[in-house]
Structure 1
Amino acid sequence: MKPAPRILVTISHYLRRDDTLALPQLRRLGLIYSSYRFILSLFSMLIVYISARSDSSPTLPSFLQQTVLSFYVLLSLILLGLFYVVSKQMRRQLAFGLALDVIILSLLLYTAGAPDLQLTMLYMVVVAASFMLLHGSQALIITLLAIIFVIYQQFFYAIANSMSLTNLGDALLMSASFLAIGGLSWSISQRLVQLEKMAASHAKEVERLNVINQEVITQMINGVIVIDEQRIVLANLAAHQLLSVSHNPSVSLHPTFVDIEDTQSTHRNLLLSNFQQQLSKQHAQLFKACLSVAAGQSRAFIYDLPAVANASIFGKLRVQIIPLKDNSKLILLEDLRREQANAQQLKLASLGQLTASIAHEIRNPLAAISQASQLLMEDVVESNIEQSTGDSMVANTSNNDETGNHELYKMIFSQTKRVNRIIEDVLKLSRQQTANQQSIVLAEWMPTFLENYFKEHDVFLHVKTQPTISFDTHQLEQVLINLINNGLRYSSYAHPHAYVEIEIYCADNDVIIDILDGGTGVGFEDLQHLFNPFFTTDQSGTGLGLYLSQAFCEANQARLLYIPEHAKTCFRLIAPAVNSDTSINMAESNFNERFL
């Protein structure tokens, strides 16, 4: 119905839009245009003087023309220096400069005395620059100012000489060209603005995905190393831990991605260089094997960690070398202990399914047998009392028989209790729940625990640091009770005075709890079966204590190991430190590790 108002509303809407170039792009283009203005002013002055000399005329340009050009050169230099030094209010500086360009060009066109197509064409550059660098309303004002000056100059020239519709038509056509150039430049600038926004959005998304990828690589339980042209360009935290290669805790970065690119690159190179040097020294065989694989070829092998790499914690690694498209190599390190843990979990699952279904059925007749043996033992005691008053010869014979029966009944009762303990341990396996982890300050918690459970025994505590771990307190109690009881029992076999020592200290980002006793240790042939269910060297044991303890440790992201290299019998519990100095250093350098 009313197309004209709609067009005006649309134009007004677009003019009010603030879709302009970002400040870095605006500053770059503004410097380019300011340099163009200064060069143009110098070139115009030289052209005027050269033209005057080439016409063999001794007269110099007019005073107005010289003044305008000198003023233009001076102001162009001032605007260029001001825009380069001052980074605030850039659009106002550009708007002032573009308005000055229109005024100076109009004065030069006026001093020429006749319409000059070359000067008139320079208006188009000003109009195009205004729509690209300024807001729509400011650019429109600059364009209207240029149109007014051009039409006025043509109209004034026509009055001063002779009225010519051709000149006025040229002026109107030139004005329409200004509007067309302005509209075209504005549409191009809007498209550039949208492309800049889209590129910035994509850059943020790529950066976010990169951060996520780096975090995923950092938190992976498998070690990841990337080698490019015999130089390590990436190594995550798990690679350091699996290979026991320490990082430099004094080199840390603030976890931001802005304004620290040079520092970030320098620190990353230092960390990578340090990691590569330690790797080539401590694991020269592994490093050479990785470098020797030809580009484009894959390889997998088992790597035995040397003793310097704390082989008691990580014995063997599966190494996979995968070629990448840019001739670099991706090296994956996997701890084989995890496969053993998975195998034990499968055993646990099958064991739980089997025992949970029959445990209660076994306990019912077992309770009856236990009760019957107790009643029989009571009957033996009562019959011995009654026969003690009878004939001595008959009483002695009867007492011998009853004593033999009493020992048999006692044996039955003790064995039923042993079977009951086995069933209870098996039921604990099948009823394992998720660990309810809590922060435990070992220096405060451990003395209370020993006071509650081992007050009457010689258990000596040596705390060399003040660590904090995250562990289920009930499960930690069960693990320590089992280990300390084993230590007291087996040390009593070797020494008349049984004792256990507990040492607590830190190594890297781990808290180490060593349970030491003076027993004979575990035989070499029993090491591979030590944590298997129902394996025991004690005739009265169930063979589930160590298995349960290891399961509790794994549920709390800890490790339970037997250390054969130790001088004493040593079971070592390794748990991640929480809020300790080592963990703080690791957290500070966690950002570095993402880019290793």
Structure 2
Amino acid sequence: MTGPVSVAPWEQAAALPPVESGLDRLWRGFANARVVVAALVLMVLGGLYSTLSAVPGPGWLLGGCAAYLVATLAVRAMARPIGRRFDVFWPATIGMDLVAYSALHYLQPVGIGFSPLFALPVLMASVLGSATLAFGTTAAVALLLLADAWLHVLSYPYDLPQRFLQAGLTGMGYFAVAALARQLAVRLVREEQRVHASQEAARLQAQVNELVIATLADGILVVDQGDQVRAANPTACALLGRLGMLPGFSLAGEPNWRPLLELTRRSFESHADQLAEVPLGGAGEAPRRVLVRTRLAAARGGLGLCVVFLEDLREMEARVRTEKLAAMGRMSAAVAHEIRNPLAAITQANALLDEELSDAGQRQLTALVRHNAQRLARIVEDVLNVSRVQQQGLPQSLPVALASAVADTCGDWSRQTDNMQRLRIAVPHAAPVQVLFDTEHLRRVLVNLLDNAARHAAAGPDSIQVAAAGPGAEALLRVWSDGPPLEPTVRSHLFEPFFSSESRSSGLGLYICRELCERHGAQIGYRRAPAPLQPAREGNEFFVQFRFTPARLARGSAADRIQA
């Protein structure tokens, strides 16, 4: 049965970031210590051999010390361990130290004990190597010391107990030092990994905070007591008129920022949060009303920061208006539902009265009542249609034959509204196209677009033109009329609810069309374009871009691959 695999502390630190770690510093310290030890040994032996005339200095031993010094310098300058468990760097480096210190211990004739030098390779193997290398080096040192004691006993038998006891205690001490250094090195690596994990978590949290702040709808500024902006999100830069400008500018740099500057200074002076509505804007811009809230972030023993929240009151008012419109829409739907029953009673009573009247003037009055009742009924129906569209969930989009649906709807509409001369249809039946839409919803969209075109088109023939399944691979419905160009202010509000350029329209038809198209994944828009059947004529065109059915998409992809 195999035990747990021994992993070097250097290998455990491989996951740390590419910066100088504690083990890097330890390696550099051990490398410097080896150079210092080699230089001191060479100086000590050279001095002793030169001063003690009775002891001849062996040149080979001094040469070996010099070679060891050169080797330690080379390792310090060029080598860097990579920390693999079976890397030959560690045994070679530590083995070189053991060989050098053993030669000094056994072969020098001066009688100096060099056994303390063995602590350096033991510590180096324990701190930077694996457990196997650490205890293997310690065992080798202990065996060397025991061998030295045995050789000494061969020459001096009376020293047997003392020499072996000293060698054994020294070896045991080295094993204790190796175990302790090993535990300290492992703890160092563990603490560095924990610090690195904390730094990564803090860095990730900082990135998340920056992302959240950058996407906030409110502006955020971080200002120090020197009036310098330390941080600012894009919304704040836009409110200051400095869109795209990097932080680091001063609030005192623009006269229009003076109210904001005074508010931040007041926060620092009073050590309290501030709330005020101030005019704000960049140079050359009209100031806008901004709601400013300040929050102090005090630092221990240093200057604090002021976090400023900016909220554009125009956007706040726009949101309030949107909520009011939504509430009015719900109320309008309720009122329209209550109006429908009395309106039906008025229409029925007027019809019965019209049957009893014979005077032309009185019948003209009943016709006027009937006309306005029908107009009110259409408005009520439009309001209820908006309510139904908003309350419905996502409808089921089914394949619809676009050409046949457009032809049937246009035919029914032209007969019911007596617009057969004004309407002209261009529907290619040779290449039928299926789109994803609800049949009834498609009919409602087309009828609303035709009603809108009829109100603005001329009375002549071909003033309204409808084309389906346009050129190429598009699934397009085009409703064109020869009316005059729309004003820019009208074009920007075309698809908004209750907006109309006519007093007799509810302004809900195009809004309902947009809602239905978006629910089926289609797009509706307006453009000034030539007539589908008469390119020389310019007019107003509303178009709907549909989604294809999956089968059509598959055929289109296959055709694209064949053409490619």
**Structure 1 length-normalised TM:** 0.60
More deviation, 371-380/20-29: 371-380
**Is 1:299–2:274 an aligned residue pair?**
yes
Change in 2 beyond 3 A, CA 1:47/1:430: farther
Q: Tell me which of 46, 55, 59 is aligned to 1:49.
A: 46
Equivalent residue, structure 2, for 1:209: 205
Contact 1:318 1:335 in 2 (8 A): yes
Aligned partner of residue 148 in structure 2, secondary structure: helix
CA drift of 1:347 comes to 3.3
Note closer, same or farther for the CA distance 1:32–1:161 as it changes in structure 2 (3 Å cut).
same
Q: Which residue of 1 aligns with 2:477?
A: none
Establish whether residue 418 from structure 1 lines up as the match of residue 376 from structure 2: yes
Mapped contact 2:145–2:167 kept (Cα < 8 A): yes
Q: Compared with structure 1, are the counterparts of its residues 433 and 307 closer, same or farther at alpha carbon in structure 2 (3 Å cutoff)?
A: farther
Whole-angstrom CA distance in 2 between matches of 1:282 and 1:435: 52
Match of 1:336 in 2: 313
How far does residue 122 in structure 1 lie from its aligned partner after superposition? 2.3
CA distance in 1, matches of 2:180, 2:331: 81
Q: Cα RMSD over matched residues? A: 4.6
8 Å contact kept, 1:31–1:83:
no
- 1:431-452 deviations in Å (ceiling 9; x for gaps): 536999xxxxxxxxxxxxxxx9
Deviation at 1:73, TM superposition (A): 0.7
Q: Are residues 1:370 and 2:347 paired?
A: yes
Which residue pairs with 1:500 in the alignment? 486
SS in 2 for 1:22: helix
Q: Write the mapping of 1:505-524 to structure 2, written as runs, cut at 5 A.
A: 515=492
Specify which of 265, 285, 294 is matched with residue 321 of structure 1. 294
The offset of 1:300, in angstroms, is 1.8
Displacement after TM superposition at 1:414 (Å)? 0.9
1:172 equivalenced with 2:168 (yes/no): yes
- Please tell me whether the aligned partners of residues 304 and 315 of structure 1 are also in contact (alpha carbons under 8 angstroms): yes
Instruction: Judge conservation of contact 2:8–2:131 (CA < 8 Å) in 1.
Output: yes
SS class of match (1:127):
helix
SS of alignment partner, residue 432 of structure 1: helix
Residue identity matched to 1:225: L
Closer/same/farther in 2, CA of residues 332 and 280 from structure 1, 3 Å limit: same
Q: Which runs of 5+ in 1 are unaligned?
A: 249-270, 384-397, 437-451, 457-473, 490-496, 504-512, 518-530, 556-596
59-68 or 102-111, larger mean C-alpha shift: 59-68
Match of residue 360, structure 1, among 332, 337, 342: 337
Q: Does the Cα contact within 8 Å between 1:130 and 1:139 map onto a contact in 2?
A: yes
Letter in 2 for 1:365: P
Distance of 2:512 and 2:306 partners within structure 1: 41
Match of 1:224 in 2: 220
**What TM-score comes out, normalization by structure 2 length?**
0.63
Q: 2:191 matched to which residue of 1? A: 195
Q: Distance in 2 between matches of 1:279 and 1:185?
A: 59
In the alignment, does 2:257 pair up with 1:284?
yes
One-letter amino acid of the structure 2 residue matched with residue 48 of structure 1: L
Q: Of 29, 32, 42, which residue of structure 2 is paired with 1:32?
A: 29
Q: 1:43 to 1:21 in 2, by over 3 A?
A: farther
Q: Secondary structure at the match of 2:244?
A: coil
Amino acid corresponding to residue 291 of structure 2 in structure 1? R
For 2:96, the equivalent position in structure 1 comes to 100
* Deviating more after overlay: 44-53 vs 137-146: 44-53
Instruction: Give the match's secondary structure for 1:245.
Output: coil
Matches for 1:454-493 after TM superposition, within 5 Å: none
1:463-496: CA deviation from partner (whole Å, max 9, x where unpaired): xxxxxxxxxxx9xx99x99xx99x989xxxxxxx
Alpha-carbon spacing, 1:355–1:284, altered in 2? closer, same or farther (3 Å): closer
Report if the CA contact (8 A) 2:251-2:258 is conserved: no
Identical positions, percent: 19
* More helix, by proportion: 1
Task: Note closer, same or farther for the CA distance 1:433–1:201 as it changes in structure 2 (3 Å cut).
Answer: farther
- Indicate if the aligned counterparts of 1:298 and 1:323 stay in contact, CA closer than 8 A: yes
CA contact (8 A) 2:38 2:69 kept: yes
Q: Which secondary structure state, in structure 1, belongs to the residue aligned with residue 277 of structure 2? A: strand
**Shift of residue 189 of structure 1?**
1.4
Q: How far has the Cα of 1:285 moved from its partner?
A: 2.6
Question: Match of 1:500, as an amino acid?
Answer: L
Q: Which amino acid letter does the alignment assign opposite residue 347 of structure 1?
A: K
Deviation at 1:198, TM superposition (A): 1.9
1: CA distance, partners of 2:128 / 2:82: 15
Aligned to 1:246: 243
Pair 189,89 (structure 1): closer, same or farther in 2 beyond 3 Å = closer
Distance in 2, Cα, partners of 1:34 & 1:329: 50
**Amino acid of the residue matched to residue 110 of structure 1?**
Y
* CA distance in structure 1 between the partners assigned to 2:282 and 2:110 by the alignment: 95
Give, in whole Å, the separation in 1 of the partners of 2:298 and 2:56: 70
Cα distance, 1:178 vs. partner? Answer: 1.3
Q: Which moved more, 1:132-141 or 1:293-302?
A: 293-302
Q: State the SS of the aligned residue for 2:243.
A: coil
Is the CA contact (8 Å cut-off) linking 2:9 and 2:129 kept in structure 1?
no
Per-residue CA deviations over 1:17-70 (Å, capped at 9, x if unaligned) read 7774525534432222112111211122122233445x5647563334312311
Cα distance, 1:201 vs. partner? 2.1
Residue type matched to 1:15 in 2?
S
Aligned runs of 1:74-89 on 2, under 5 Å?
74-83=70-79
Relative contact order, higher structure (CA 8 A, sep 6+): 1
Q: Tell me what 1:469 maps to.
A: none
1:135 counterpart residue number: 130
Aligned residue pairs, count? 427
SS of residue matched to 2:229: strand
Letter in 1 for 2:66: S
Q: Specify whether residues 71 and 202 from structure 1 end up closer, same or farther in structure 2 by C-alpha distance, changes over 3 A only.
A: same
After superposition, the Cα gap between the structure-2 partners of 1:537 and 1:20, relative to the gap in structure 1 and judged at 3 Å, is closer
Task: State the Cα distance separating 1:322 from its structure 2 match.
Answer: 1.4
Cα offset for 1:152? 1.1
In structure 2, C-alpha distance between the alignment counterparts of 1:352 and 1:146, rounded to whole Å: 92
Look up the SS of the partner of 2:272 in the other structure.
Answer: coil
- Counterpart code for 2:25: R
Letter of the 1:360 counterpart: H
Q: CA deviation at 1:544?
A: 7.9
CA distance change for structure 1 residues 186 and 79 in 2, over 3 Å: closer, same or farther? same
User: In the alignment, is the contact (CA less than 8 A) between 2:260 and 2:278 conserved in 1?
Assistant: no
Shift of residue 412 of structure 1? Answer: 5.3
1:13 aligns with 2:9: no
Amino acid in the other structure paired with 2:340: R
Q: 2:365 aligns with which of 399, 407, 411?
A: 407
Mapped to 2, the partners of 1:362 and 1:133 lie a distance apart of 89
Task: Determine the C-alpha separation between the residues in 2 that align with 1:433 and 1:112.
Answer: 100
> CA 1:83 to 1:514, structure 2 compared with 1: closer, same or farther past 3 Å?
farther
Give the direction of change, closer, same or farther, for the CA distance of 1:132–1:291 in structure 2 (3 Å limit): same
Q: Displacement of 1:224 after TM fit?
A: 1.0
Alignment CA distance shift 1:426-1:168 (3 Å): same
- Distance in 1 between the 2:389 and 2:31 partners? 79
Structure 2 residue runs of 5 or longer lacking an equivalent are: 15-19, 395-409, 411-421, 423-441, 458-482, 520-564
Query: Is the CA contact 2:11–2:84 (under 8 Å) kept in the aligned structure 1?
Result: no
